[in-house]
């Protein structure tokens, strides 16, 4: 490839919308979505833990003050959708997602009797997400040690109960969001492309086009992915959420910018797919002044986004 061809190729890469090929029935999500991809936006959010402040109200106020557009609630919000949406709105924030978790791995337990209660509780979380106008409920099939099922058995089981759950989520105007984790926390579902393929298969099985997706967490991705950009492009329009944290290098999993990990490669992928949903802090703080670290990290992320 000579210099001219190089630019020619990149122009095509950029202008995918203009040259998007005919998709086959099994074409990729990304290709199918190329025509309609949105304009990418950096919309920062925070979980309550990393947000500075000593009360919910103070955390919401400071998140807004330093540039967040949304807040991410944890499982404590279930059943309090209207109340907590109002609190966020009063602070000028949206609610991004509910960080729910695995429910002890019950939905994918080898103990069949545990599964339905887990499914029922996930439905309650999805209902609350709908009330919060949140984009989804983060779901982890199983942390290490929570199930005796093998990867193959877990995937098969997900394909059994997820299509109905995804329809339920869609009817709540929200999504189940599969979260890939690093091997230290979960062996099943470690890469974004794997989560995307599960979500795609569930959507096909259910005959719907929303209700389940995948997320990427920069901390976990630092261990499991060979390319942050490739991972996000693999997710494409199935990417519903992003968690922000530095990588495994010390100081580990702290505010972006507190260790040397770069976000530029991943942000290029997010720009390419037109990502306009939220990116939320899920991290610790290496510095002594959390408020200063929070503020600095948002500026760092804006600089990285501009560079991407």
Residues 192-221 that bind a copy of itself (CB under 8 A): 192-194, 196-197, 200
CA dihedral (72, 73, 79, 81) in degrees, to 10, reads -40
The answer to whether the peptide bond before residue 251 is cis (omega within 30 degrees of 0) is: yes
Strands 212-217 and 176-178: parallel
Least Å distance between CB 228 and a copy of itself?
Answer: 6
Which of 102, 146, 228, 280 touches a copy of itself (CB under 8 A)?
Answer: 228
**Contact window for a copy of itself (CB under 8 A) among 58-66, 135-143, 190-198, 279-287:** 190-198
Q: How many CB atoms lie within 10 A of CB 104?
A: 14
Pick the closer one to a copy of itself by CB: 19 or 184: 19
Pick the closer one to a copy of itself by CB: 99 or 189: 189
Pick the closer one to a copy of itself by CB: 82 or 159: 159
Q: Does 1 bind a copy of itself (CB under 8 A)?
A: yes
Least Å distance between CB 158 and a copy of itself?
Answer: 14
Which of 23, 173, 210, 296 touches a copy of itself (CB under 8 A)?
Answer: 23
Q: Does 4 bind a copy of itself (CB under 8 A)?
A: no
How crowded is the C-beta side of 157, counted as CA atoms within 13 Å?
22
- Helices 264-272 and 228-235, axial angle in degrees (round to 10): 20
Which of 74, 187, 286, 290 touches a copy of itself (CB under 8 A)?
Answer: 187
Least Å distance between CB 257 and a copy of itself?
Answer: 12
Burial 133-143 (b: 16+ CB within 10 A, else e): ebbbbbbbbbb
Q: Which two structure tokens, joined as six digits, stand for 94? A: 């949206």
Which residues in the 257-286 window bind a copy of itself by CB under 8 A? Answer: 259-262, 264-265, 268-269, 271-272, 274
Which of 122, 162, 212, 308 touches a copy of itself (CB under 8 A)?
Answer: 308
Q: Does 307 bind a copy of itself (CB under 8 A)?
A: yes
The residues, ordered by sequence, that sit 6+ positions from 276 with a Cβ below 8 Å of its Cβ are 38, 39, 40, 41, 43
Nearest to 141 by CA among 171, 163, 115: 115
Which residues in the 125-154 window bind a copy of itself by CB under 8 A? Answer: 150-152
């Amino acid at each position: 490839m000579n210099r001219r061809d190089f630019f020619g190729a990149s122009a095509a890469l950029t202008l995918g919308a203009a040259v998007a090929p005919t998709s086959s029935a099994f074409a990729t999500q990304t290709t199918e979505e190329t025509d309609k991809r949105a304009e990418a936006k950096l919309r920062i959010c925070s979980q309550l833990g990393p947000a500075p402040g000593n009360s919910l109200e103070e955390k919401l106020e400071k998140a807004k003050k330093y540039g967040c557009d949304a807040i991410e609630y944890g499982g404590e919000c279930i059943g309090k959708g209207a109340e907590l949406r109002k609190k966020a709105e009063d602070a000028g924030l949206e609610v991004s997602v509910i960080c729910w978790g695995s429910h002890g791995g019950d939905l994918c337990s080898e103990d069949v009797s545990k599964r339905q209660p887990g499914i029922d509780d996930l439905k309650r979380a999805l209902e609350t997400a709908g009330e919060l106008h949140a984009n989804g409920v983060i779901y982890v099939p199983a942390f290490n040690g929570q199930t005796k099922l093998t990867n193959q058995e877990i995937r098969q089981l997900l394909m059994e109960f997820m299509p109905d759950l995804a329809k339920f989520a869609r009817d709540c105007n929200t999504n189940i969001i599969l979260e890939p984790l690093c091997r230290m926390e979960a062996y099943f579902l470690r890469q974004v492309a794997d989560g995307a393929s599960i979500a795609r298969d569930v959507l096909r099985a259910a005959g719907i086009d929303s209700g389940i997706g995948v997320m990427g967490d920069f901390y976990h991705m630092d261990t499991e992915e060979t390319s942050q950009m490739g991972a996000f492009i693999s997710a494409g329009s199935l990417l519903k959420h992003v968690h922000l944290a530095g990588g495994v290098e010390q100081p580990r999993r702290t505010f972006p910018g507190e260790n040397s990990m770069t976000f530029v490669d991943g942000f290029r992928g997010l720009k390419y797919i037109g990502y306009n949903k939220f990116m939320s802090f899920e991290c610790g703080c290496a510095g002594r002044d959390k408020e200063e670290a929070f503020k600095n990290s948002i500026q760092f992320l804006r600089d990285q986004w501009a560079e991407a």
